[in-house]
Each structure stands twice: as C-alpha cells, then as structure tokens.
A and B are shown apart, each in its own frame.
Chain A
Amino acid sequence: MSKTPVPKGFTPVHSARFGKKGSQKLAGYEADGGYASWKKVAKGWKSGDFTPAKIIDMVKASGLRGRGGAGFPTGLKWTFVPPKEKRGGKPVYLLCNADESEPGTFKDRLIMEEDPHQLLEGMLIASAALDVKHAYIYIRGEMVRCAEVLNEAVAEAYAAGYLGKDILGSGLDIDLTVHRGAGAYICGEETALIESLEGKRGHPRIKPPFPAVSGVWDCPTVVNNVETLAAVKFILDNGPEWFKGMGRNEKNTGPKLYCVSGHVEKPGVYEAPMGIKFMDLLALCGGMKGGKKLKAVIPGGASAAILTAAEVADLPMDFDGVAAAKSMLGSAAIMVMDETTDIPKAVTNISKFFAHESCGQCTPCREGTPWLNKMLKRLIKGEGKRDDLDLLLQISNQMGNGMTICVFSDAAIAPVISGITKFRDEFEAYLSKAKAPDFALAAPAEVTPKVADRVAEGIHG
C-alpha cells in the first residue's frame, strides 16, 4: 500500500501508519503511541477517572457519525442500550461491522490490513463504555487474508493483556472473536449481520425491536462500522474538540476515509477532513484518467443515486452535503465515471448486483430486483420497448419507502431512478436502436441455473 496524498494542512489520522513497515504488529503500534488511551481507560477504571458515561459523553461531543453508510450519531446510538438494571441480567454485545461489501468501498479493509490495532483499541474502549464482555468482528468472507491479520492482532492483544480477564488490573473482562461471513452483501445490514452471526441466513429483522434493545441472542447489541470504532480510539487520544475541529460543520465532523475508484488517475483510499469538496478530492487522485471529461459520480457506493458532473462541481463530500444533492455519502465509496461511460450499462451492472444480493424475504425486493435487471438487460441488448423506461421508474417507486423490511430495495432503486431521470437520453438511444417488435412472444424462459452451471459461480442473476 503506497501512501496517498492528503489535503494541505491535514495530518492523516486513520491512515497515518498505512504502508509503514510492520504497521500491523503490536510492537510498532505501541511504539507509535498505540494503546495509550486504552491503558489510560484501564488505569482510570477502578478509580472512577474513566466511566462509561465519560467515554460516551466524549463520543457524543465529538459529533462522530457512523461511517458504515447511514451516518447515525454514534454516541446517541450507544445511549439506546438499556441501563444495567433494565437488562434483566442479559449481557451487551458489541459487533464490529466489517462486512464491507458495498461496491466501491475498500476503506475498512485497509484499516484492518494495515493498522488492525487501531480498530481493536477502539473496540476495547467502546466495550468498556458499553459494559460489553464479548465483542465480535464480523468480517466478510472474501477478506481471508485480512481476517488472518486481524486474528494475529487479536492474539497479540490477548498475549499483551489488552484483552482477556481483568485487563491491566482494571477489573474489566473483554473477549473478542473474529467471525468470518461467507459471501452475502445483505449481512452488512445490521440486523442481517446479527442473524448471520447467530448462524442463520442473513435475513434482516423487523424493527422494532432495535438491536440496542434486543439484538444478537436477544441481548442488547451495538453494531458499529470499522472506521467508526477506530475513530473512537482517536477521539480518546486527542479529545472530542480536536475531532470536532475537523469537518465542514458541527454535524459533519472528523477525518474521513474516501474510497475513490473508477476513471481517475490514482484510485485509492484518501483521507481528508469530512466535507472535502469533490473537486479537491479528484485533484488529490491526480484528476481524471487520461484527462477525459467527468460525466457522472456515484458518491456513496452502488446504493447511492448517481450525480451528474454539474451536481458534484461544488459538492462537499459529507453526510448532509451529499444528502442535499439527493444522494448519500454512504460508505464514501466514490465511483468516478468519465465521458466514455455507458450509463445504461453501468446501471444494468448495478441492478444485477442487487438482483443477486437480495435476500429473498420481502416480495417487492425478491421479485422487483430481478424484474428491473431483466428489463435493463433486455434494453441494452437492443430489445427495449417504448414503455420500458416509464415502467422501470414505476416499478422502482413500488419497491422503496417502507415496502420492505430493510432498506436494501431503496438502495437497489436509487441508481435506476437517478440513472434514468438524469441520463434519459442515453436510455432512449438504446430504445431507438431496438430491433425487437413491441411485444415479446417467445422469449426463452428463465430457468434457475443448475448446480453444474452454478458451481460456486456466485452470480446467478
């Protein structure tokens, strides 16, 4: 991992140790001042210098918002866990959501691969704040090597006494287990992650009850993203004011890892203060690949609405900034598309992803995502029909906004709706090239693929 440039005047936080030799090892981490905050917390635990309330207040004061996609204030989320006397003896679980599967996102992977102890330290601090005795990292199945790095780091932390029983004499007992998923995007949804951790199919749950009240194994559960939990460590290191000092405004604070991919000169993870302007970020990436013109940007992973070049011209890349442009920052997975990009094909590709990843519980999503994909595939094959675009928009509108248990189908329709409304002429062009008659008589029946065709194939879309 070569280091990526940062904006002038900004000192990297999460990525400071990325690319450094031995950055994964405990010795190097400690030499760079790692676990200082955890030692402070552990030391101050018995004396009362550090209390759960103090840590939670610091996180609240920092303005930290969840880095996984929804941008929910982390400190507030933590306060939803019922107080001990109302938990009926049930333990609290902390789950680190490392199921980084949103297309375009690869920041958590870097934290875990390059500097796993910052995550562990953040999780330890969060566990102490939330009275957690056993925390889990749910890492996506594909990140095999990454899980190995994490497991080594966990073993080191146990050996050093940062994890385990009576940590550093504080009286705190915290265990941590790395749990590998097995290939399902939906497990990044926090209740699906919980189901998956319980050993089930990753079907999102009906809410309420929310995980903070009844999550994994029916116990109060907090699910936080990797970057979010790592940020907790830095808030403890440098104080909430420091954290809040970065960012565009007090609702969009802290350092942020941006994942830039697509048609830029140097794709990669770039760290910048929350709210960096898109164009500044693009400049950090060396500009458009081959000097081509910018056409469109997906600002927050495949679930986010596509933005046009005009819409991103002066766009602050933070939760509220991108939301104001009617898209979302999501996991800050920024996919840049140049003038050669075929938007209908890109939208079809994304729709295939969602058709393939739908869990199949709710009717509108189970039936709607493949329907959208079938229509789009037909359209780009040159067999589109006059009413297809309107029908695509109508179907999309029938899938979102409370029609399903989770927001997966809202995510699935965002690229379709934004793609068609903003780049309609490109879709119309496919229609005008259409060679098929205005009806489909003997379309070959779609057949669920046989095992032979689908041996670990992954995609049956």
Chain B
Amino acid sequence: MSKTAKVTVDGRSVDVPDNSNALEACRAAGVEVPHFCYHPGLSIVGQCRMCMVEIEGMPKIAASCTVPIRDGMVIKTDTEKAHAARNSTMEFLLINHPLDCPICDQAGECKLQDNAVTGGLPVSRTSEARRQYPGYERTDIGKHVIADMTRCIQCTRCIRFCEEITETGELSFIERGGHTIVWTHEGRALDNELSGCAADVCPVGALTTKEFRFRKRAWWLDKTRSVCTGCEVGCNIAVEHKDRVVHRFIPRVNADVNDFWICDFGRFRSEELNEQELFRPVVRGKETSWGDAQDAIKAAVDAAQKDVLVLGSAKLSTETNWLAAQLFGKHLGANVEFVVDRGDRHRVKNKKADGNVAGWLEGYEAAPNSRGAEAAGVTRGGDTGALAAVLTGTLLPKVIIVLDAAFSAKAEDPAVIAALRKAGTLIVCSRRRSALAAAADVLLPVGGVHNDEGTFVNVQGRVQRFDCAYIPPPIVRTQLEILTHLGKKWGLFDTRWTARSVFEEMRATVPGYAGLDWDSPALVGSAPSASPAAPHDVLEAPAKGGLGLPALQEVGS
C-alpha cells in the first residue's frame, strides 16, 4: 500500500503516490512535461534532458523524471527558465537531425516533431554540416524492425526495453559522445518475441516496423479498442484502421495484463482482418439471400429433432457463444460444444502496481475466449466430447452447425472435414474460402472480430470488452446477428439485440459476469494512445459502446 504526497504543479495541488517522480506528478496534475527518454514502463535514465522544470528550493534546473517527489514539493513547468532549458534541448536535438519528416513514417506520432511544434526555436542557428551515418540508414536489424540512425536521438528506450522487458539485450549504445549509435552486435539481429515494441517505444523514426512502414500516415488512422485474439492472454490492443482497411495493432496500456506491450505474434496478425473472401450466403452451391438461408437452416434443424451438433468457438465472444447455447442447447436441446487448440506459448510481461516487474503472463491456448465460451454454457469438448465422437464415427448428427470455420487447426484437416460432411446438413459460418466452406450445404459469410463487439475472458479470468472497428461489408453479417435472426425464427430472440444487450441479458446467469458493467473501465480498458511511443497520451475519455459506431471512429477522420 503506497502512501501519497501532496505536490503543487504550476499552482495546482495534487495528491500522487509518494514513489512518483516529478514528471509523473505533473502528469497527474494534467500538465504534460515534454520528454523523450522517460517511459512509464522502463527504468529512469534522465538523459534526454527534455523534461526540465524548476523546483522550489533547488538551485538548478532539474530533469523532472529524475526527481523523486516529496510532500509539499512545488514544481513549476511554465517559467521562463524551464522553457529556455527545454527549447535549448530541442535545439541540440535538431542540429544533427535530418528533419526528413516528409519521408519519415513516424511523422504524425513523433515526439520530436510534437515537441518541436509546441516548443523550441523557430529557426536553426547551426550552419555546420549535419552528422551522417553511412551504413546505418534504413537497415533491417531484425525480422520486423528497420533502423535509421540519422533520426535517432539516443534516448535508449529501445535498449532498456531489450534489457529490462525481454531480457535479451540485443541492442546497445555503440561508440560514445556525438558518434553514439544504437545497434545490435555485428552478426546478430534484434530478434525477440516482443521486438515490435522496440519500434513502439522509439519516440522518433529511428526504429519502425517493416509491416506498417509507409502503409498509412499516422494521423489518418482511426483507433478502436480491441483485444488480441492470438492466444488466451488477451492483450489489450488498438485496431488501427482507415476506410475499412486494418493497418496495424498497437498495444493499449493495461497494467494487469499486457502493461505496454504485445508480442510480435499477436501484433502482426492484423493483416488477417483484411482477408474477407465471402460476401453472400450460399445454399447447396447457389448464392442466395439471408432469408432463404435461414429458412433452410430452420427446416434442417427442425427436421433433425435435437440430433444437432453446434460448434461454438473460443474465438467468438461470450455473447455469441451464449446465444448459441441458449438457442440450440437450452431451447432446442442440441449438443453445443467448442474445442480449443493448445498451441505454442505466447507471453507478455507485466508488472504489479507497486512498480516491480512481476514477470511473464503466458498463454498456450490458440484462442482468446475458451473461458467465456464455457461460462456461456457451451461445453468444452475434448477427447470424449461430441466432436471427438463425430470424428471417430460413433456419433452421426443429422445437422452440424459450425459457427466459426476457423475454430481450430482441425478445420483444415480433410479427414475432419469428411467426418463433418457426413452430417445430413452441414452449416458453416466463414470469412474465407476453405475446404470446410466448400463442403458446406449452407455457407454463411461472416465478418471478423473487428466487425463486432463483445467480451472475452482471458487466462486470468478477466472479462475484457472489444469494440467494433467497422461493421461488416454489405450483406456479410456477424455471428451474433446470424444468431439473433435465427433465434427470432423460433420466436426467442429479437433482431434488434446487440452484443451489449445480450451482455446485459446474460449477466444474471453467466458465471463471472454478475455485476459487470459494459461501460466500466475494468471491461473497457484504457483508450488507445495517440501514438505507440506515448502510451499515456490518450485521445479522449473512454467511449460508450454501440455497434459500429464507437465514438473513437470519429477521431482523426
């Protein structure tokens, strides 16, 4: 239990934890002191000398990130001396900077650019030649990261990241003084499971990720709160997109889950969201309307008389799984089951609130929501489940409904497809063309996780909400929509239901959801940050949910 101290920042009094530094105290008071090397997830080095402030009783100007606060401290950020000091640091940083913002992909989310715009001198006083780094420009230093030393401001965030967070130490200061660069040891690459975060923490364009470089200017990007679906850890991410194209994922701060980081595996799955290949319902090889497709499903299910297997999915929201469990399980008496793959270990580091690195949070399941699906009343299948029985041929349901064609790697196995195909009617929801989709009697085009909202339950049992980046393309529906429409056929559901209303409906019965509030910060997480290098510079207050129209979509467009 940490104590608090009372600090005055520019005349405003604020209570902050007594282990804060002056920069953090200023931030708590709503005063953002410009900085580069300070990062809330990394150790303090105080070497960029940007966050200079005056502190009463200290004779010299001080770098606020290096000053531990004490009760009664009076900090002044808005004095002539403080401005002069910060302007001075900006001048020093810019005398050798190439000023190549027009061709720099960091532009728009660059702390050097931001701080030059908000402060600094209007003209350059240097006429000396700028330093160059032949051989250290635009160079791949790892699988995902490109380095350009001409833009580096030697803040060491990336070095500290690789030392303190990934503990791999691939990067180091090389040389010294004005020749200092940040690089790997010759013959070795920046290669760790979180390497994309090294580019995230870079406040300038010195480290950028290959996958995102030159895809979109940062200021055009709309940002939507989401949760990574790569594994059960459930890292908080922002899906960044424009004009119905997803361009990248960046981490959203959540001290209890992923802190400031996400793994490369999760980060670079973003392109998958653009892979929408199916656009119309198909019934027995013929493109058709939703009405006909629903009629075909209802007829098949009614005829099957409970001899139905519905495969939910740990990749779908708890809300969607709950609707499936309610409709097919509770009402129609069918088998509703999901299976989840145990995949490679993925992990992310987080720290406890006391600031000590607590360690890695690991996930093995290749899906984000097995706990939510189970809580929603869908049976966790295994070696003895219904699907297993289908595969061994001991169970032969008349109808099989696959709510998510990508529910498991098994869905690509021809033997599995053949076994499923033995059902009288095989109904499949899918985004992409696949062997399973091709085998379906009824094929329903669905959108991705970014086309809907809902909640997942992560490996810690934490319920986390994800928002809708943009609604699916015309005609394509989400599984939640499909289920509410089907449910209406049996007189159960209302087609006006959204994930939120389903969430409110199911709260009473689903374990772990009692008392939760759709809009509570615990569910919503933090707002996307203005840039990955500035994790706490959020765009606005948490938005209200609402299908397809999260308030954030308006920002920046």
Contacts and interface: CB of A to CB of B under 8 A. Distances in A.
Interface string A358-385: 1111111011111100110010000001
A398 B178 contact: no
A206 interface: yes
Interface string B374-411: 00000000000000000000000000000000000000
Given A403-B61, A446-B128, A363 B178 contact: no
Contacts of B128: 371, 374-375, 378, 440, 443, 446
B92 A367 contact: yes
B114 to A, nearest CB: 16
B68 to A, nearest CB: 8
Given A374-B128, A398-B88, A444-B129, A355 B178 contact: yes
Contacts of A391: 125
B126 A363 contact: no
Interface in B14-58: 44-50, 52
Contacts of A208: 68
Contact of B127 (A363, A439, A448): A439
A371 B96 CA distance: 10
Contact of A402 (B48, B50, B60): B60
Nearest to A448: B179
Interface in A373-417: 374-375, 378, 385, 391, 398, 401-405
B176 interface: yes
A369 B178 contact: yes
A201 interface: yes
A447 B132 contact: yes
A345 to B, nearest CB: 19
B49 A363 contact: yes
Given A358-B178, A403-B49, A367 B132 contact: no
Contacts of B61: 401-403
A333 B45 CA distance: 33
Contacts of A374: 128
A242 B59 CA distance: 37
Contacts, number: 115
Contact of A363 (B48, B129, B179): B48
B92 A368 contact: yes
Interface residues of B, number: 42
B62 interface: yes
Nearest to A359: B176
B66 interface: yes
A358 B52 contact: no
Contacts of B180: 360, 366
Contacts of B62: 402
B47 A361 contact: yes
B93 A367 contact: yes
B176 A358 contact: yes
A405 B46 contact: yes
Given A363-B47, A403-B85, A405-B46, A369 B130 contact: no
Contacts of A448: 131-134, 175, 179, 181
B85 A366 contact: no
A367 B47 contact: no
Contacts of B91: 398
B177 A360 contact: yes
Given A206-B66, A360-B173, A366-B177, A445 B93 contact: no
A448 B92 CA distance: 18
Contact of A369 (B45, B66, B126, B177): B177
A361 B154 CA distance: 7
B153 interface: yes
Interface in A424-459: 439-440, 443-448
Interface string A339-368: 000000000000000011111111110111
Nearest to B173: A201
A3 interface: no
A293 interface: no
A443 B127 contact: yes
B89 interface: yes
A54 interface: no
Contact of A366 (B44, B68, B178): B178
A460 interface: yes
A130 B49 CA distance: 35
Contacts of A362: 47-49
Interface string B128-143: 1111111000000000
B96 A367 contact: yes
B73 to A, nearest CB: 14
B129 A443 contact: yes
Given A366-B178, A367-B96, A445-B132, A361 B88 contact: no
Contacts of A403: 49, 52, 61, 85, 88-89
* Nearest 8 Cβ contacts at the A-B interface: A402-B60, A360-B180, A367-B92, A370-B178, A358-B177, A398-B88, A361-B47, A443-B129
8 contacts: A358-B177, A360-B180, A363-B47, A371-B126, A398-B92, A440-B127, A446-B129, A448-B179
